Structure 1
């Protein structure tokens, strides 16, 4: 519940408020106006809803339909002249975040907040942190893969970082469920469109940076992408940073005045000995660790989570147990075929993560490697050239290009574009299930491997804006064992 005076006070203090426009029909006594619901969906309103107009394609007819359901007030960046009062603001997304905090009684103050950002590894690091903190605490988690607000029930996320109205509602539910911590993946988009505006994290973790999410509807340049990534550090009380990441010196200078830990590179927190399923470290985390996820980058993700959780009250024993228990749906999941060849299912979805995945698999599997790969439609278009450049560095790699969330683009055209950046012939099997079947049939010995990259645990294909049924890469591969 929130009163109109509180709404106006918050907006005016943030210099976001412009005016109330009543269209000549202002008949309300502001002192009696109370809202019991917030919404940005015009289909989900009633007489006590404060409605937020967001989106470039929003139409006045949506407001008229909402008024028929009883809507009496709305907030927008323009006056739609629909006969009810509008609170005009300069930035609707900023207003949404600030008012959601107040409406849900500031749940962010009742949880210890841990945020992960980076081009890759956010989900894996979040899972490590969740398993570490659950040893002695009650963490909730918002991740690309799954969300839990009570530690028992998990549901599929729709956005890496939810819209602010949804985010603070989820936080309030976590508080009501007795959760003590909240682990979040914080995307660059979350700062670009102000989903986390005004939010301060107890610990912010920067895992890595490489060009991604650059395109017409995302970030215009790498510099813009990197800037929005770094906003997590500006809005965290303490930080953990990978000292081996690109552009580290800039980040190091940025965090110099706040409590911080560096890991990897030339920091004191180093991995000094490792094998496929164990590693040892120096520094604050000096210990021997068992780990289910192969690859040096997963060991680094575990270190990042461990250092962050240490600042949030986890013990060294909690960190050891949590790392050992962590597995992540769609991240380096491994199957063994009847001929003993391996099948790896992994979410690797950009050039950098694909390189790391290929390096790890080729280290363990020295025979024939068949890669199944696609690229999503209408987003991250720069990845297509990146994939081609990565594949060119592995001349022995057998490649099958296929569909991966083509959305409003033709999957064949996407495959053709990726192929145009590859300096040798590759196969194109657009039906993803058939591509997986074909790849698995090409293996012969225990040294061979199939890599199914991109979708991870996603049990759908995005086609023309809708989620179409798809069993998921792991389920498909299992069906062909």
Structure 2
């Protein structure tokens, strides 16, 4: 519950309140009005809802249908003149976040908050942290792959970082479930769209940075992308940073006055990488570790999570157990065909993560290696060229281009664009299941491998803005083992 006086107090404190318009058309004074529900969805309305008219695609008819459902007040950046009072603000996204915090009684203050950002590795690091913290604490997790608010029940997330109204509602549910910690993936988009405005994290982790999410509906430039990534560090009490990341010197200078740990090359906290399922750490996490996820980058993610959790009350024993127990849906999942060939299913969906994935696979498998790859439509268009550049450094890999969330673009056109950046002949098989079936039929023995990259554990294809039926890469691959 929140009163209109409390809403106005929050907005005024943020210097975000402008006026209340059309109050003369309301049938009683707004003083003393109480809201028991917040919404930005015009289909989710009661007479006691405070509605937020947000988004570049917001249409007047959305608000008109909400008024017909009994809506009495809305918050917006302009007066839509629908006959009910409008609380006008300068920034609707800031208003949503701060009002949601007040409405749900500041649940962030009742949890230890850990956030991961980076171009890749956020989900894997979050899973490491979840498994570490659950040894002695009660963590909730908001992840690209899965969300849990009670530590037991998992459900699929729609956004890497939820909209602020959803975020603080979920935080409040985690608190009511007795959770002690919350692990979050915080995307650059979360800061660009102010989903976490006004939120301070106990520990923020910066895993890495490489060009991604640059396009007409995302970040206009790499500088803008990098800036919004770094906002997590500014809004964290303590930070963990990968000293091996690109532009590390710049980031290190920015966090010099903060409580921090660096990990990786030339830092106190280093890893002696192993090509197998173990590694050795020096520094604050000194010791020997077992790990299910192969690859140097996964060992780095484990180190980042361990250092963060150490600050949040985990013991070294908790960290060792948690790392050893961690597996991640859609991240380096490995199947073995009847002929012994390996099938690797991984979420690698940009040039850098694809390169890291192929490095691991080519280290382990020395026979014929095939790759199934696509690119999403209407986002991250720079990836298509990046994929080409990466694949030109692996001339021995047999490439099959296929559909991967084409949205409103033609998947054939996307595949042809990727192919235009590859300096050898590739195949295009638009039907993703057919591509997987074909590639698996072409393996001959235990030294061979098929890499299916991009969709990970996603059991859908996004076509024309909607999720359509698709069994998922891992399930399709199992059919043809």
Contact kept, 8 Å, 1:23 with 1:81, in 2: the verdict is: no
Q: 1:263 — aligned with what? A: 263
Q: 1:68 — aligned with what? A: 68
1:143 aligns with 2:113: no
CA distance in 2, matches of 1:164, 1:424: 46
User: Structure 1: 5+ residue runs without aligned partners?
Assistant: none
Q: 2:341 — aligned with what? A: 341
Q: CA deviation at 1:275?
A: 3.4
Q: 1:278 — aligned with what? A: 278
CA distance in 2, matches of 1:289, 1:367: 30
CA distance in 1, matches of 2:357, 2:217: 28
Q: 1:251 — aligned with what? A: 251
Q: 1:380 — aligned with what? A: 380
SS in 1 for 2:115: strand
1:416 aligns with 2:422: no
Q: CA deviation at 1:67?
A: 1.1
Q: 1:429 — aligned with what? A: 429
Map 1:433-452 to 2 at 5 A: 433-452=433-452
Contact kept, 8 Å, 2:348 with 2:354, in 1: the verdict is: yes
For residues 61-82 of structure 1, the C-alpha deviation after alignment (integer angstroms, 9 at most, x for no partner) is 2212111111000000000011
Q: 2:287 — aligned with what? A: 287
Q: 2:87 — aligned with what? A: 87
CA distance in 2, matches of 1:434, 1:276: 32
CA distance in 1, matches of 2:351, 2:245: 15
For residues 141-164 of structure 1, the C-alpha deviation after alignment (integer angstroms, 9 at most, x for no partner) is 000000000011100000000000
Q: CA deviation at 1:443?
A: 1.1
User: Structure 2: 5+ residue runs without aligned partners?
Assistant: none
SS in 1 for 2:462: strand
SS in 1 for 2:384: helix
SS in 2 for 1:151: coil
CA distance in 2, matches of 1:71, 1:275: 60
Contact kept, 8 Å, 2:5 with 2:32, in 1: the verdict is: no
SS in 1 for 2:284: helix
Aligned residues: 481
Q: 1:468 — aligned with what? A: 468
CA distance in 2, matches of 1:240, 1:388: 32
Q: 1:217 — aligned with what? A: 217
CA distance in 2, matches of 1:390, 1:230: 26
Q: CA deviation at 1:31?
A: 2.7
Q: 1:396 — aligned with what? A: 396
For residues 80-130 of structure 1, the C-alpha deviation after alignment (integer angstroms, 9 at most, x for no partner) is 011110000011011000000000000000000000000000000000000
Q: 1:367 — aligned with what? A: 367
Q: 1:459 — aligned with what? A: 459
Alignment RMSD, CA only? 0.8
CA distance in 2, matches of 1:234, 1:51: 30
SS in 2 for 1:32: coil
Q: CA deviation at 1:273?
A: 4.7
Relative to the length of structure 2, the TM-score reads 0.99
CA distance in 1, matches of 2:31, 2:24: 19
